[in-house]
Amino acid sequence: MSDASDAAARADAFARQAAAMRSPLGAYFRRRIRNAGEVEDLVQEVFLRLTVRGTPDHADHASAYIFQIAASVLADRHRRRTVRRADEHVPLDPDLRGEQDFDPARIYAGKQALNAAAAALMTMPERTRTIFLLRRIDGLRHQAIAKQLGLSVSAVEKHMVRAIEHLMAHAGGAR
C-alpha cells in the first residue's frame, strides 16, 4: 500500500503547488489577452486539463507542466477565435438601435404606408409604372430602361418624374 500512499502524497503535493499557481496563471493570461473577463475561465480550463491528464511523476516540474498546459489553452483559444472570427463580431447595443424597433403601432403604420404606395402604383399608367419599377426596384439605369423599352432616355426621365409626382400626390393625400 505504500505505492498508493506515495501516489496520494504526490497528488496532494501537486494539488498544493497547482493552487499556488492560480495567481501566476492569472497574470500569465492577463498579459496575453485583452478581455480580462476571460482570464478566470482560462485558469479554470488549465485546472480542468490537469485533472483530466493527471499529475506528472515529479512535482519538481509541476510549474513548467502547468505553464505548458496554459500555453496549450491559449493556443486553443486563439484557434477557436480565429475560426469563429470572434474579433469581427459587433455587440448589440440597444441604445444605438433607436427606441422600439418592434413597436406594434410603428409596424402597423409601415404596413399602411406600404399598402398606400402599392395602391398608388396601381393607379399609374402601365408604362410609367413599369419604368418606375425597373429603375427603383430592379436598379436599372435610364439608358438601360430606354434601350429595353425602345424609348429615348428623355422619355424615361419624364416617366420617372411623373411617377414620383404621382406617388407624392398620393402620399400627401394619405396623411
- The CATH number assigned to the domain holding 51 equals 1.10.1740
Q: What is the domain range of residue 23?
A: 2-88
Residue 168 placed within a domain: yes
Instruction: Based on the fold, state whether residues 83 and 108 are members of the same structural domain.
Output: no
Whole-model pTM: value is 0.46
Q: Whole-number mean pLDDT of the chain? A: 84
pLDDT at 56: 65
- Domain final residue pick, 42, 57, 88: 88
Which one, of 86, 72, 84, lies nearest residue 34 by Cα? 86
Residue 94 placed within a domain: no
Instruction: Based on the fold, state whether residues 108 and 153 are members of the same structural domain.
Output: yes
Total domains present in the chain = 2
Per the document, the length of the chain is 175
Instruction: Based on the fold, state whether residues 127 and 155 are members of the same structural domain.
Output: yes
Q: What is the pLDDT of residues 5-30, one digit of tens each?
A: 777 777 777 777 777 888 999 999 99
Predicted confidence band at 147 (pLDDT cuts at 50, 70, 90)?
very high
Residue 161 placed within a domain: yes
**What SS3 string covers 26-56?**
HHHHHHHCCCHHHHHHHHHHHHHHHHHHCCC
Instruction: Based on the fold, state whether residues 118 and 142 are members of the same structural domain.
Output: yes
Residue 170 placed within a domain: yes
Residue 16 placed within a domain: yes
Residue 96 placed within a domain: no
Taking a C-beta distance cutoff of 8 angstroms, is the pair 135, 160 a contact? yes
Instruction: Based on the fold, state whether residues 64 and 115 are members of the same structural domain.
Output: no
Dihedral through CA 108, CA 109, CA 115, CA 119, nearest 10?
A: 150
Instruction: Based on the fold, state whether residues 76 and 127 are members of the same structural domain.
Output: no
Instruction: Based on the fold, state whether residues 162 and 108 are members of the same structural domain.
Output: yes
pLDDT at 98: 57
117: domain CATH number?
Answer: 1.10.10.10
